[in-house]
Structure 1
Amino acid sequence: MVKFLLIFNFLQVEACLRTSEKKLPNLQTCTRESNFGKKAENDAKIVGGITAENNQWPFITRLTIGFDDGQEALCGGTIIDNNWVLTAAHCCDGASWINATFSDLRVSRTESKEYTFRASKIKKHPQYRASTFRNDVCLLKFNEDIIASDPDGDVQMACLTDTLPKQGSGCWIAGWGMTSFDGATSNRLRQATVKIMDKSYCLLNSEYPSSWIKREMICAGNLDNNGDGLTDGGVDSCQGDSGGPLICGIDGKAALVGVVSWGNGCASEGFPGIYSSAAYSSTYNWIRRTVNPKTTNAVNRALDWILNLF
C-alpha cells in the first residue's frame, strides 16, 4: 500500500513516476523568511517554463534510506528551509541513516551539479501511526545549508501553506518512482497532474472504506470523468515516490500541500492516491513549530493536540 521502494543488496533501481503531459507551470518558490517569519514577497524566485531536466522542480530531493540489515529504500522529499526537508514518516520508520541528494536529474548517474548530505536529525510527527498512516510526515534536519550549497542558486524551497485547495483543483506530483505497480521503471525525474478531491467526493467515488480516509489526508488523482461512479485511473504516484511533494499553485506560489503517502496499487480506477496533508492546521503548525519554535504559541500547541485526538 505504501509508495515506498526497497533497494535490496544496495542494487540501484532506476525508477520513475507515472506521468501525464501537463507540467508544473510558472510558480514562485519561497525563502526561510517567507516560510517561517515575516512574509518577504520580493524574495521569491520564478520557477518553471523550462523542462524538468533544467531544474523545473528545484525544491525536490531524492532520499536514500539505509537500514541496519543493509537494505536501502528510495523516497522523495521537499526542501522547506535552508536546513530542513519534509518527507513521509513511513520513509523514516526504522531508518539508521538518510541521505538527501539535490540537483539530481537521473538515478543512474552522478550529475555534475548534484550534491548529497546526510540528515543529522530525523523527526517523525509525534502522532504518526504506521498502521493507519495518520500524520504520515517526517522532518529531516541537515547541518549544512542546502540552499547556500548550490553555487548557481537553482536549488530553492517550496512554500508552506495552511490553505487547502478546493475540489477539482489541479496540482502536481513528481518523483523517481515506478511507472506502474511492480512494473517497468525509468531513470528520470517525472511529473504528473492530479486533481484534488475533498473527502466526501473521494469516499463517494472510490472503493476505500470510509474509516481509512482521515481528516489530515488528501485524495488526488483523476476525477470520475466517464460517469461510472469511480475515480478514473491512469495517473498517480507509485512505489519509490513516497514522501515526494504534492504541489499546488496558490497565489502564484509553489505551495506544498501534501506528501505522497499511500494507496491501493498505482493509478487504479476507484483508488486515487492518498497524500498526507502538509496544509492541515495541526500538521502545518507542527512543521513550523519544529523548524522554528518561535512561530507558534502554547495555545496553538494545545489545539493541535486536541485535533489529533480525533
Structure 2
Amino acid sequence: MCWLLMLLLVDSYAQARPRGAVETEEDDWRVTLDINDETDVPAAVTGGNKVKGHHWDDAAAIFYGKQAECTGVLVAPDVVLTAGHCASGITKVLVGANNTKKASKGEKIKVKDVHKYPQPNKTYDIAALVLEKESTITPRPIALDCILDDYLFDGAEVAIVGFGNTKYNGNGSTNRKYEGYTYVQDHDCSRNKIDGMKTGCNDDVKPDGELGAGGNKVDSCFGDSGGPLYLLTDRGDYLVGITSRGYDGASWSYPCRDGGIYVRPDAVVDWIEQETGRTIERPDCTTYAAPKSMEHIPIVPAMQTLDLPNIGNSNDAEWHRMVGCANTAAPLGSIWLLPLLLIGYRREYQCTTEGH
C-alpha cells in the first residue's frame, strides 16, 4: 500500500511545479530556475554559462530579508517584474550585479509596493514591484507590436537569465547569475503537448498569454522564477517572457531539463501601467523595417532523453522546493519522507487543481 501511495505521489508531483520562492499556500502552486549537468554540459544554466560583464544588468535578484530566492527584471527605472508566486515577503531587489554575495557591485533597492496579478495560478503568474527609488540601469523594452509580429515564432532564439539552481535535478544552488541560450517551442502556448510532453498552459489566458521555451539541455530552474526570457533579434534584445514554471509533464527526477512556461509581458502591459502608474517603453515601429531575410531563424532541435545521475541527497532548502507546495523540509532518506510527501501531495493537488 505504501509503495502504491509513493507512485501516486511521484506522478502527482510531476505536474505543474513552479520555480521560485514559496511563501504561502496561495502563492506556492508553481516554481522555476536555471540548471545544468556537469557531466554533459558546461557548468552554468543548462547549456549556458555564468554571466560576465554587464550584458544582463537589468536582470534582478529578488530578496526576502537577507536571502535571494527568486529572479526579476527591470522594465522601468523603478519597476521590476517577477513571478506572482514569488510576490509574498519581498524586501529588496539587486540589479547590476552578477553575484548576490557581492551586492556592492550593483544596486540593492528596497521594494515599496507589490502588485500581484489576480489569481496568478489561473491567469498570469506575474507581479510588479515598485521600488523606493529609481535604478540607474536602463531597462530593456518589452517585445511589442512590430517586434512580436516579425520575431516571435516557434524556433525563435531566446536567452534565459536567472540566479537559480544549476543542475537538472534541481540541486546546485548558486548565488551567481547564469545565462542559457535556447529556442521558443510554443510562442502562444496553444499546444497541449510538445514532443509527447504535457505542457500545462493556463487555459484562461490562451492563446498569447504565455509561451513555452527551453528543453534539449537548456532550461530554467528553482530560483529563476520571475526572471527574464529575452528575445534575440537583429534589432536588439527584448523582454519576451517572465519565468513561471516547468512543463506539467517534466521528469520528477530532473525537473529542470525539459523546458517550461513563461508569462508574456506584452499581454499585461496595460495592467502594469495601471497598477504602477508608470509608462512602459514601447518599440519604435514608425521607422521600423522588417528583417531583410529570415536566415537568423534557428531550427529547434529535437528533445533528447539524457542519461543523468540520480538526485542523491538534498539539503533542507532544496527539499523544500522539490516537494513543491509543501512548507516543510527534510533530507531524502529521512524516516519522515512518506508523511512529508503526503503533505506535499495534498497541497500540490490543491494548488494544481486551482490552476487548471
- Report the TM-score when normalising by structure 2: 0.57
In 1: Cα distance, 2:200 partner to 2:134 partner = 42
Alpha-carbon separation, structure 2, partners of 1:195 and 1:292: 33
Change (3 A) 1:234 1:293: closer
Secondary structure, counterpart of 1:100 in structure 2: strand
SS at 1:61's partner residue? strand
RMSD after superposition: 3.0
Tell me whether 1:89 sits opposite 2:84 in the alignment: yes
For residues 52-105 of structure 1, give each alpha carbon's deviation from its aligned partner in whole angstroms, at most 9, with x where no partner exists: 321110211101135xxxx9561111111111111111100x32x421012222
Matched, 1:279 2:238: no
Q: Deviation of residue 6 (structure 1)? A: 6.1
- Flag structure 1 segments of 5+ consecutive residues without an equivalent: 8-14, 24-50, 148-154, 223-232, 296-310
1:242/1:210 CA distance change after superposition, 3 Å? closer
> What CA distance in whole angstroms lies between the structure 2 residues aligned with 1:234 and 1:284?
31
**Residue type matched to 1:139 in 2?**
A
Per-residue deviation, 1:115:
2.6
- In the other structure, the counterpart of 1:78 is 73
Q: Distance in 1 between matches of 2:271 and 2:179?
A: 28
Counterpart check, 1:242 vs 2:225 = yes
The 1:241/1:206 distance shift into structure 2, 3 A limit, reads farther
Paired residues of 1:159 and 1:253 also in contact (CA < 8 A): no
1:168 is matched by which residue type in structure 2? G
State the AA in 1 paired with 2:20: F
* Among 148, 156, 167, the residue aligned to 2:138: 156
- Judging by fraction of residues, say which structure has more strand: 1
Among residues 86, 99, 104, which one is paired with 2:92 in the alignment? Answer: 99
Please say if residues 77 and 87 of structure 1, whose CA atoms lie closer than 8 Å, have aligned partners that are also in contact: yes
1:177 and 1:63, CA in 2 relative to 1: closer, same or farther beyond 3 A? same
Equivalent residues of 1:17, 1:237 under 8 A apart? yes
Distance 1:294 1:120, change over 3 A: closer
Preserved contact between residue 192 and residue 201 of structure 2 (Cα < 8 Å): no
Which residue among 11, 15, 18 is the counterpart of 1:2? Answer: 18
Q: Structure 1 counterpart of 2:223, which letter?
A: G
Distance in 2 of aligned mates of 1:191 and 1:209 = 23
Residues paired across the two proteins, number: 231
Unaligned stretches of 5+ residues in structure 2: 1-16, 24-32, 37-44, 281-356
Distance 1:3 1:211, change over 3 A: closer
Equivalent position of 2:210 in the other structure: 217
- TM-score (structure 1 length as normaliser): 0.65
Q: How far apart are 1:292 and its partner, in Å?
A: 4.0
* Residue 176 of structure 2 corresponds to residue 184 of structure 1: no
One-letter amino acid matched to 1:172: A
For 1:13-92, list aligned pairs within 5 A: 17-18=35-36, 19-20=45-46, 52-66=51-65, 74-92=69-87
Q: Distance in 2 between matches of 1:259 and 1:179?
A: 18
Q: Using the TM superposition, give the Cα deviation of residue 156 of structure 1 relative to its aligned residue in structure 2, in angstroms.
A: 2.0
Provide the rounded CA distance (Å) in 2 between the counterparts of 1:252 and 1:106.
29
Alignment pair present for 1:129 and 2:120: yes
